[in-house]
């Protein structure tokens, strides 16, 4: 059973090789761009050697409105990506991303803060 909710205007770019492992639930906001090869994984294992094989842990992923996730990025269990943010290609996101942020690389470092959109 697929436990994902998505907003309107989801844009899977290229639509190739994406994996959504949704055991913990995935929520995707409106106007989200998802590049090819993106992995959203809500399942993991404890890191302690004695616990790794005993059970699997689950935590939801929440992706806010107007987010762009670049090609081959991986979002790990329990992460929330704030509205308007950009996740660079190949990034591994293991902690929450604040709204209107740009994050890149394998160790997530907030590179800059974006301005909120102008009122219409």
* Side-chain-facing half-sphere of 63: CA atoms under 13 Å: 32
Q: Which of 11, 15, 16, 45 is catalytic?
A: 45
Residue 45 is among the residues annotated as catalytic for this protein: yes
d(CA 98, CA 77): 16
Count CB-CB contacts under 10 A for residue 23. 17
- For residue 36, CA distances in Å to 21, 26, 39, 40, 80 come to 15, 18, 9, 12, 20
Strand order in the sheet with 39-41: 19-21, 39-41, 74-75, 92-93
Catalytic residues: 45
């Amino acid at each position: 059973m697929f436990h994902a909710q998505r907003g309107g205007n989801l844009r899977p770019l290229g639509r190739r090789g994406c994996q959504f492992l949704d055991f913990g639930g995935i929520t995707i906001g409106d106007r989200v761009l998802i590049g090819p090869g993106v992995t959203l994984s809500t399942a993991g294992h404890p890191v302690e050697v004695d616990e790794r094989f005993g059970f699997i842990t689950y935590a939801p992923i929440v992706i806010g409105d107007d987010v762009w996730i670049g090609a081959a990025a991986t979002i790990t269990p329990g992460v929330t990506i704030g509205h308007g943010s950009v996740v660079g290609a190949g990034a591994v996101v293991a902690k929450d991303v604040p709204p209107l942020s740009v994050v890149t690389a394998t160790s997530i470092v907030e590179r800059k803060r974006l301005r909120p959109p102008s009122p219409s």
